[in-house]
């Protein structure tokens, strides 16, 4: 089946640093979603992207829909301790339409105060 590969798998950063992570696929996607999961909770939607090249921000978070439509990027500026969690990219399975969403393996972020 389709797979979304996220990198890095995990990262430790100092508070105040900027963070970058990405998500890649072997297939073309028409939607990219970025979620954050806090410990013990379900994922929460952060940003949705619908067009190649689109750049969308949500506070200190900025995500981009790659121009090849096979990748997406998430940046967090000036990280703070509450940014800790797992960040997932997701998109509708290209072979199955919009109902089946597949998720990446996640990037685990740890912020050192």
Partner 1 sequence: NAGVTQTPKFQVLKTGQSMTLQCAQDMNHEYMSWYRQDPGMGLRLIHYSVGAGITDQGEVPNGYNVSRSTTEDFPLRLLSAAPSQTSVYFCASSYSSRYYGYTFGSGTRLTVV
Note whether 21 binds partner 1 by CB under 8 A. no
Q: With contact defined as beta carbons under 8 Å apart, do 65 and 14 qualify? A: no
Sequence-distant (≥ 6) Cβ neighbours of residue 19 within 8 angstroms: 11, 13, 75, 76, 79, 83, 109
Candidates 39, 41, 82, 113; binder of partner 1 (CB under 8 A) is 41
In terms of CB distance, is 80 or 100 closer to partner 1? 100
Note whether 105 binds partner 1 by CB under 8 A. yes
3-state class of 3 per DSSP? coil
Note whether 103 binds partner 1 by CB under 8 A. yes
- Compute the distance between CA of residue 91 and CA of residue 49 in angstroms, rounded to an integer: 10
Q: Which candidate, 80, 112, 108, places its Cα nearest to that of 16?
A: 80
Note whether 106 binds partner 1 by CB under 8 A. yes
Q: Which of these segments, 14-22, 40-48, 57-65, 72-80, binds partner 1 (CB under 8 A)?
A: 40-48
Q: Give the interface with partner 1 as residue ranges (CB under 8 A).
A: 1, 4, 6, 9, 30-31, 33, 35, 40-45, 48, 50, 88, 90, 92, 98-106
């Amino acid at each position: 089946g389709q797979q979304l590969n996220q990198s890095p798998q995990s990262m430790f950063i100092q508070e105040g640093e900027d963070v970058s992570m990405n998500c890649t696929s072997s297939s073309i996607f028409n939607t990219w979603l970025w979620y954050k999961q806090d410990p013990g909770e379900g994922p929460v939607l952060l940003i949705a992207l619908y067009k190649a090249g689109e750049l969308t921000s949500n506070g200190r978070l900025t995500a981009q829909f790659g121009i090849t439509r096979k990748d997406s990027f998430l940046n967090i500026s000036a990280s703070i301790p509450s940014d800790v969690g797992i960040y997932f990219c997701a998109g509708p399975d290209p072979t199955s339409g919009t109902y089946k969403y597949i998720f990446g393996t996640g990037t685990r972020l740890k912020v050192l105060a």
